[in-house]
Structure 1
Amino acid sequence: MKKLVSIVVLLLSLVAYSQEVDKLFDEGNTFYKEENYTRAVGVYLAIEEQGMVSDDLYFNIANCYYKMNKVAPAIYYYEKALKINPTNEDALNNLAFAKRMTIDVIEELPKTFLQRFSASIIQKFSFDTWAIIAVIASFLASLLFLLYHFSSSSKKKIFYFNTTIFSVLVLIVTVFFAYSNFKTVQKNRTAIIFSSKVEIKNAPSTSSDEVFELHEGTKVIVLDELDNWKKIKIADGKIGWIYADYLKEI
């Protein structure tokens, strides 16, 4: 009986939390429509502080910062939205506009065939999406195998056998894609420069030599960290050290 009461209380708490979040979200949307972007972003950030993770929420936060001409936060939250949902076309389009506000023009290194395939196919969906497709394929393969096993018609057996094999192949491919996507996300720690201008050093020390400089809004890959310094790489392959307070990991 105590367990049942606890479950009911938990469910009621979740419903109340959901209603509160929806109310705040609507409030933020109202401020946004009124072009009161400062208050709108304040409401959205309050939702984020409650532990809410959503590409729609991050997209709205980014839009507010974009309207306020705050380059780094806008790009940061567009990137966060795309990390959750890489197929968010609105976030992709708005990110392209936000990047035009940045100062740094960095020419990307040519990608290999595998890198292009990963970016255009594997990274097109999140690893959660690939995992869901894999689960669906596994259930479908099991069902088709049972139909094959209990079917008395030779034509149906051939059909169910072939579709079972196809489902198993889809399962194997999607599991591989999910794992590959997960490893890529874990390996590629990305961050956005938040300082208006920052010197990138050749060693994790303020007295070391400057190798190049970056400006706010530029996306970098975090390779390593030491104390309050982070080793980064930019799209053209240049590597250096930056003080950790000058960037924010996505």
Structure 2
Amino acid sequence: MKKLIICFVVLFSVLSYSQTPEALFSKGNNFYQNGNYSKAIEAYLAIEKQGLQSDVLYYNLGNSYYKLNKVAPTIYYYEKALKINPANEDAISNLAFAKRMTIDVIEELPKTFLQRFTANVIQKFSFDTWAITAVSASFLAALLFLFYYFSLGSKTKLLLFNTSILAVFIMIISAFFAFKNYDIVKNTKTAIIFKDKVDIKNAPTQSSEDVFELHEGTKVQILDELDNWKKIKLADGKIGWTTAINLKEI
């Protein structure tokens, strides 16, 4: 009898896991609409466990955790949504509301013109979007050049030539932005504090001095790693060490 129960549990687990992402997503949405946010989270996480990612999935997870007043996972999943799609206006808006639940008030250091341009332009869209723009512009430039080559009127040829040059310029700029964005995403590690309260050390040892404390939901940048320690930096420039168990990388 015991073996039969175990087999039933295993079979049920396999069948539950084997559900299609579409079915799980629909189930999660239904749970959310009915106010069963914990069940909605289970359905969405089952999709994530299958190795699938999307800004919509992470956005829905953020919304579900927000309804349960779970500060750290709410901000974590909104940030993951924006990492995939920086132009997700709903995630941007909801993240701003979620940050009001955090305890730490951190003022960002003033940014240079180049840093502001990078954040407001280059990182406004994902590197995939910039890459698609570059490819589209290259096809357009080639097409316009063909029209220019076979065109007879001088005014038309001039217009087509100038337009093709503009398309080439857009292609080059978009390609540069795509590579720059990819480099930033690849080399910049960020994380969210998941513990209620964390004492940040001045060195990667438990006996080192506490320099400041952080609370759940605060976003940090990971600068370095040593064993199970992470060197972190805040938006206001403060730097310290904490153990990896205290945070979750985005």
TM-score by length of 1: 0.91
Quote the Cα distance in structure 1 between the aligned partners of 2:38 and 2:24: 15
Deviation at 1:145, TM superposition (A): 1.0
Residue equivalent to 2:203: 203
TM-score by length of 2: 0.91
Cα pair distance change 1:213/1:52, threshold 3 Å: same
Deviation at 1:210, TM superposition (A): 0.8
Length, aligned pairs only: 234
| 2:141 counterpart of 1:141 | yes
- What SS does the corresponding residue of 1:35 show, helix, strand or coil? coil
Deviation at 1:19, TM superposition (A): 8.3
- What SS does the corresponding residue of 1:164 show, helix, strand or coil? helix
Residue equivalent to 2:244: 244
Partner amino acid for 1:217?
A: G
Residue equivalent to 1:115: 115
- What SS does the corresponding residue of 1:198 show, helix, strand or coil? strand
| 2:9 counterpart of 1:46 | no
Residue equivalent to 1:215: 215
Residue equivalent to 2:70: 70
Partner amino acid for 2:32?
A: Y
Residue correspondence of structure 1 range 126-137 to structure 2 within 5 A: 126-137=126-137
Residue equivalent to 2:154: 154
Is there any run of 5+ residues in structure 1 with no aligned partner, and where?
1-16
Residue equivalent to 2:10: none
Q: Percent identity?
A: 68
Deviation at 1:112, TM superposition (A): 0.5
Deviations 1:130-174 (A, max 9, x none): 000000000011111111112222111101110111001001110
Q: CA RMSD in A?
A: 1.4
Residue equivalent to 2:36: 36
Deviations 1:51-92 (A, max 9, x none): 111111001111111111110000000000011111111111
Quote the Cα distance in structure 2 between the aligned partners of 1:107 and 1:196: 20
Deviation at 1:18, TM superposition (A): 11
Deviation at 1:187, TM superposition (A): 2.1
Quote the Cα distance in structure 1 between the aligned partners of 2:43 and 2:166: 48
